Amino acid sequence: MSSISTESSSNLSLLENGGGGSDKPTAETSRRVRRTVSASSLIRKRSDLKLISRVRWEFMRRILTNLQEVLLGTKLFILFPAVPLAVVAHRYDCPRAWVFALSLLGLTPLAERISFLTEQIAFHTGPTVGGLMNATCGNATEMIIAILAVGQRKMRIVKLSLLGSILSNLLFVLGTSLFLGGISNLRKHQSFDPRQGDMNSMLLYLALLCQTLPMIMRFTMEAEEYDGSDVVVLSRASSFVMLIAYLAFLIFHLFSSHLSPPPPPLPQREDVYDDDVSDKEEEGAVIGMWSAIFWLIIMTLLVALLSDYLVSTIQDAADSWGLSVGFIGIILLPIVGNAAEHAGAVIFAFRNKLDITLGIALGSATQIALFVVPVTVLVAWTMGIEMDLNFNLLETACLAMSIIVTSLVLQDGTSNYMKGLVLLLCYFVIAACFFVSNSPSTETNTTNHTITKR
């Protein structure tokens, strides 16, 4: 449920602009920051502060302005009532499937608001600090859900939700964007910087290797000799490797992006930072830094509360709706929870700004694979719980084929609706697979042991 900021890769464009090391942006850098960070402004709406300006007391004006900007400053504000309704439904023992549905709907605007607040802080802290915040907090919702599921020892839900977020970004978000963008720009040449796809594909292949080896090790061991300990040790080592790769990725874009060769010339290329950016994309900070930090804490706590409801009721929702937990975790959770992010990627594709579209989709997938997944494994370790990177054969095969197909689609730096259609069809096949799959919701074939101290 990644927020709609131009996460990771597109945020790393923001990081590049701050490569000079100064947290005080210049005028040109600030202009670039506004254009990069405000990708999520596409689903925000301008606040009418005329009535608030008539309030006599400045303190009250500030409070009302914050409420207006934070709660009503998004087109998704209509979903905010789902948050208190989920709490009431849980408190008064309503059907648990209702609690699950309301929690899922409530997480959608909360995830978008976390993105908004992170961007507001970035306006005040400069491009470098702001970019790092986006690079680490861009998928805060997925991380919170995963950690809470680990705490409840529901390892299969952890792995399904993380895998579903990666597949959703690679196939559904990117596929929908390329398909609809290609249909709406039939008479235009659609192109993007292929370096972005190359870098993210390389990192995704590394994450795939780190997640495949534990599964292969499991199959190479004799059943009577397998106790899971070796796979867990390998998974923890692989987690450190992925975190090192992600950290190096950030450092490279912060300080060494000039080492990359210039992109090949592409005809009729539209720069994502052209001068015809709308006024809406030129917005600056609308609330103060400390107000943004305060609201960010509030939104994060609400996300944690609803995520706890979500994890504890997913099995009941699956039983009530006649769906497998695998289908809900891999397909339903990412689609509904990432609705805001999906909308932003598609709108940018409509505008023929594919570099930002790729930043949203590929950046989020890379961040989950190289940051959220290993952090979850290491957090489980600190909690005394053994979690490995064995995602099982079916799930790992889906991930591998998705990464391969995506990298092939993006290798030439051009786009058309046929490429988007292929990605969508791949996603629909995977969805059909998990829809008919009756894989157990219990922790079969999944390491989940509590460490006992001697």
Whether the pLDDT of residue 369 is over 90: the answer is yes
At 387 the pLDDT is 92
At 49 the pLDDT is 59
Whether the pLDDT of residue 228 is over 80: the answer is no
60 or 186, higher pLDDT: 186
For the entire predicted model, the pTM comes to: 0.79
Whether the pLDDT of residue 272 is over 70: the answer is no
What mean pLDDT is predicted for residues 116-127?
A: 77
What mean pLDDT is predicted for residues 93-104?
A: 91
273: number of Cβ within 10 Å: 15
What mean pLDDT is predicted for residues 184-211?
A: 87
Q: Return the closest-CA partner of residue 270 out of 355, 360, 380.
A: 355
What mean pLDDT is predicted for residues 206-235?
A: 84
Whether the pLDDT of residue 18 is over 50: the answer is no
45 or 125, higher pLDDT: 125
CB < 8 Å & 24+ apart, contacts of 448-451: 448/153, 448/155, 448/385, 448/386, 448/387, 449/228, 449/385, 449/386, 450/153, 450/384, 450/385, 450/386, 451/384, 451/385, 451/386
At 126 the pLDDT is 67
At 447 the pLDDT is 46
Question: Among 272-281, 387-396, 444-453, which range has the highest average pLDDT?
Answer: 387-396
221 or 148, higher pLDDT: 148
At 239 the pLDDT is 95
Whether the pLDDT of residue 398 is over 60: the answer is yes
Model confidence at 39, pLDDT cuts 50, 70, 90, reads: very low
At 397 the pLDDT is 94
What mean pLDDT is predicted for residues 409-437?
A: 91
- Give the burial class of 39: count Cβ atoms within 10 A of its Cβ; 0-12 exposed, 13-18 middle, 19 or more buried: buried
Q: Please check whether residue 130 is in contact with residue 285, taking contact to mean a CB–CB distance below 8 angstroms.
A: no
* Summary mean pLDDT of the chain: 77
Task: Enter the tokens of residue 167.
Answer: 């597949």
Whether the pLDDT of residue 52 is over 70: the answer is no
Q: What angle do CA 363, 236, 244 make, to 5 degrees?
A: 45
